[in-house]
Chain A
Amino acid sequence: MAQTPYAYFPGCTLHGTMLEYNASARLVCEAAGVDLRELKDWNCCGAWSAHTTDYMLGLALPARNLQKAEAMQLPMVVPCAVGFSRMKLAMHEMENPAVLSAVNQAIDKPFKNSVVVEPLLKVLASDSLDLEVKKPLQGLKVACYYGCLLVRPQKILKFDDENNPQTMDKLMSRLGAEPVDWDFKTECCGAGMSMPRPDVVNRLSSKILLAARSMGADCIAVACPMCHFNLDFHQREVEAERKEKIQMPALYFTQLMGLALGFSAKKLMLDKHLVDPMPMLKSKGMAA
Chain B
Amino acid sequence: MARIGVFVCHCGSNIAGVVDINRTVEAARKMPQVVYAADAKYTCSEAGQSAIRDAIKQHRLNRVVVSACSPRMHENTFRRTVASAGLNPYLMEIANIREHCSWVHGDNKEAATSKAIDLIGMAVAKVTRDEPLTPKRVSMTPRALVIGGGITGIQAALDIANAGHEVVLVEREPSIGGRMSQLDKTFPTLDCSACILTPKMVDLAQHPKITLLTSAEVKSVNGFVGNFEVEIRQKSRLVDHVKCTGCGTCWQKCPENVNSEFDMGMGKRKSIYIPFAQAVPNKPVIDTASCRYIKYLKWAETKEGKKPPECRICEKICPTGAIDWEQPEQILTEKFGAIVVATGFKTFDHSVLGEYGGGRIPDVISGLQLERLMSASGPTGGEVKRPSDGAHPKTVVIVSCVGSRDDRIGRPYCSKICCMYNAKHAIMLKEHDPEIQIYIFYIDVRTGGKDFEEFYRRSQQEAGALWIRGRVSKIHREGKKLIVRGEDSLIGRPVEIPADLVVLATGVEASDGVVGLAQTLNISHDSYNFLVEAHPKLRPVETHTDGVFVAGAAVGPRDIPESVAHGGAAAAKAIGLLSKEELATDPMTAIVDPVKCVSCFACHEVCPFGAPEKETLRDGRTVSVINESKCKGCGLCIVACRPGAINLRGFTSQQVLAEVTSLWR
Q: Do A and B bind each other?
A: yes
Q: Give A contacts to B, CB under 8 Å.
A: 161-164, 181-184, 187, 210-211, 214-215
Interface centre among B361, B474, B478, B479 (most CB of A within 10 A): B478
Q: Do A182 and B360 contact each other (CB < 8 Å), given the known contacts A161-B354, A163-B354, A164-B354?
A: no
Q: Do A210 and B360 contact each other (CB < 8 Å), given the known contacts A161-B354, A163-B355?
A: no
Asked if A162 contacts B479 (CB within 8 A), the reply is no
Measured between beta carbons, the chain A residues less than 8 angstroms from B357 are: 183
Measured between beta carbons, the chain B residues less than 8 angstroms from A182 are: 476-477
Q: List 11 A-B contacts (CB under 8 A).
A: A162-B354, A163-B358, A164-B358, A182-B477, A183-B357, A183-B361, A183-B474, A187-B474, A211-B476, A214-B479, A215-B477
Q: How far is the CA of A106 from the CA of B21 in the complex (A)?
A: 74
Nearest chain A residue, comparing its CB with the CB of B478: A214
Measured between beta carbons, the chain A residues less than 8 angstroms from B423 are: none
Q: A214-B478, A215-B477 are in contact. List 4 more A-B contacts (CB 8 A).
A: A163-B358, A183-B474, A184-B476, A211-B476
CB distance from B38 to the nearest CB of A (A): 68
Q: Which 9 A-B pairs have the closest CB atoms?
A: A163-B354, A183-B476, A214-B479, A214-B478, A164-B354, A163-B355, A211-B478, A183-B477, A164-B358
B336-357 toward A: CB 8 Å interface, digit per residue (1/0)? 0000000000000000001101
B347-388 toward A: CB 8 Å interface, digit per residue (1/0)? 000000011011011000000000000000000000000000
Q: How far is the CA of A182 from the CA of B358 in the complex (A)?
A: 12
B294 proximal to A (CB < 8 A): no
Measured between beta carbons, the chain B residues less than 8 angstroms from A181 are: 360
Measured between beta carbons, the chain A residues less than 8 angstroms from B477 are: 182-183, 211, 214-215
Q: Do A183 and B475 contact each other (CB < 8 Å), given the known contacts A162-B354, A163-B355, A164-B358?
A: yes
CB distance from A239 to the nearest CB of B (A): 18
Q: Tell me how many residues of B have a C-beta within 8 Å of chain A.
A: 12
Measured between beta carbons, the chain B residues less than 8 angstroms from A163 are: 354-355, 358
- Total cross-chain contacts (CB, 8 A): 30
Measured between beta carbons, the chain B residues less than 8 angstroms from A214 are: 477-479
Q: How far is the CA of A161 from the CA of B474 in the complex (A)?
A: 15
Measured between beta carbons, the chain A residues less than 8 angstroms from B360 are: 164, 181
Q: How far is the CA of A163 from the CA of B360 in the complex (A)?
A: 12
Q: Give B contacts to A, CB under 8 Å.
A: 354-355, 357-358, 360-361, 474-479
Measured between beta carbons, the chain B residues less than 8 angstroms from A161 are: 354
Measured between beta carbons, the chain A residues less than 8 angstroms from B478 are: 210-211, 214-215
Nearest chain A residue, comparing its CB with the CB of B481: A214
Measured between beta carbons, the chain B residues less than 8 angstroms from A184 are: 476
Measured between beta carbons, the chain B residues less than 8 angstroms from A164 are: 354, 358, 360
CB distance from A252 to the nearest CB of B (A): 24
Q: How far is the CA of A184 from the CA of B485 in the complex (A)?
A: 13
Q: How far is the CA of A6 from the CA of B475 in the complex (A)?
A: 39
Q: How far is the CA of A181 from the CA of B474 in the complex (A)?
A: 16
CB distance from A189 to the nearest CB of B (A): 14
Q: How far is the CA of A163 from the CA of B478 in the complex (A)?
A: 16
CB distance from A82 to the nearest CB of B (A): 23
CB distance from A147 to the nearest CB of B (A): 15
CB distance from B450 to the nearest CB of A (A): 40
Nearest chain B residue, comparing its CB with the CB of A214: B479
Q: How far is the CA of A204 from the CA of B273 in the complex (A)?
A: 51
Measured between beta carbons, the chain B residues less than 8 angstroms from A215 are: 477-479
Q: How far is the CA of A164 from the CA of B358 in the complex (A)?
A: 8
Measured between beta carbons, the chain B residues less than 8 angstroms from A162 are: 354
Q: How far is the CA of A247 from the CA of B476 in the complex (A)?
A: 22
Q: How far is the CA of A181 from the CA of B361 in the complex (A)?
A: 10
CB distance from A165 to the nearest CB of B (A): 9
CB distance from B107 to the nearest CB of A (A): 44
Nearest chain B residue, comparing its CB with the CB of A181: B360
Q: How far is the CA of A187 from the CA of B475 in the complex (A)?
A: 11
CB distance from A259 to the nearest CB of B (A): 28
Q: How far is the CA of A184 from the CA of B475 in the complex (A)?
A: 10
Q: How far is the CA of A89 from the CA of B360 in the complex (A)?
A: 31
Q: How far is the CA of A283 from the CA of B478 in the complex (A)?
A: 25
CB distance from A3 to the nearest CB of B (A): 36
Measured between beta carbons, the chain B residues less than 8 angstroms from A210 are: 478
CB distance from A217 to the nearest CB of B (A): 12
Measured between beta carbons, the chain A residues less than 8 angstroms from B354 are: 161-164
CB distance from A179 to the nearest CB of B (A): 13
Nearest chain A residue, comparing its CB with the CB of B477: A183
Nearest chain B residue, comparing its CB with the CB of A211: B478
Nearest chain A residue, comparing its CB with the CB of B355: A163
Q: How far is the CA of A182 from the CA of B479 in the complex (A)?
A: 10
Measured between beta carbons, the chain A residues less than 8 angstroms from B361 are: 183
Q: How far is the CA of A187 from the CA of B355 in the complex (A)?
A: 10
Q: How far is the CA of A182 from the CA of B475 in the complex (A)?
A: 11
CB distance from A43 to the nearest CB of B (A): 35
Measured between beta carbons, the chain A residues less than 8 angstroms from B358 are: 163-164
CB distance from B554 to the nearest CB of A (A): 32
Interface centre among A162, A183, A184, A210 (most CB of B within 10 A): A183
Nearest chain B residue, comparing its CB with the CB of A216: B479
CB distance from A47 to the nearest CB of B (A): 26
Q: How far is the CA of A214 from the CA of B498 in the complex (A)?
A: 14
Measured between beta carbons, the chain A residues less than 8 angstroms from B475 are: 183
Q: How far is the CA of A162 from the CA of B476 in the complex (A)?
A: 14
CB distance from A137 to the nearest CB of B (A): 23
Q: How far is the CA of A210 from the CA of B481 in the complex (A)?
A: 13
Q: How far is the CA of A211 from the CA of B482 in the complex (A)?
A: 11
Q: How far is the CA of A161 from the CA of B358 in the complex (A)?
A: 11
CB distance from B358 to the nearest CB of A (A): 6
Q: How far is the CA of A163 from the CA of B479 in the complex (A)?
A: 19
CB distance from B589 to the nearest CB of A (A): 52
CB distance from B502 to the nearest CB of A (A): 12
Q: How far is the CA of A74 from the CA of B479 in the complex (A)?
A: 45
Q: How far is the CA of A181 from the CA of B477 in the complex (A)?
A: 10
CB distance from A146 to the nearest CB of B (A): 13
Measured between beta carbons, the chain A residues less than 8 angstroms from B476 are: 182-184, 187, 211
Nearest chain B residue, comparing its CB with the CB of A161: B354
Q: How far is the CA of A181 from the CA of B354 in the complex (A)?
A: 13
CB distance from B408 to the nearest CB of A (A): 11
Nearest chain B residue, comparing its CB with the CB of A212: B478
CB distance from A185 to the nearest CB of B (A): 10
Q: How far is the CA of A211 from the CA of B475 in the complex (A)?
A: 12
Q: How far is the CA of A187 from the CA of B483 in the complex (A)?
A: 13
CB distance from A230 to the nearest CB of B (A): 18
Q: How far is the CA of A181 from the CA of B476 in the complex (A)?
A: 11
Nearest chain A residue, comparing its CB with the CB of B360: A181
Nearest chain B residue, comparing its CB with the CB of A182: B477
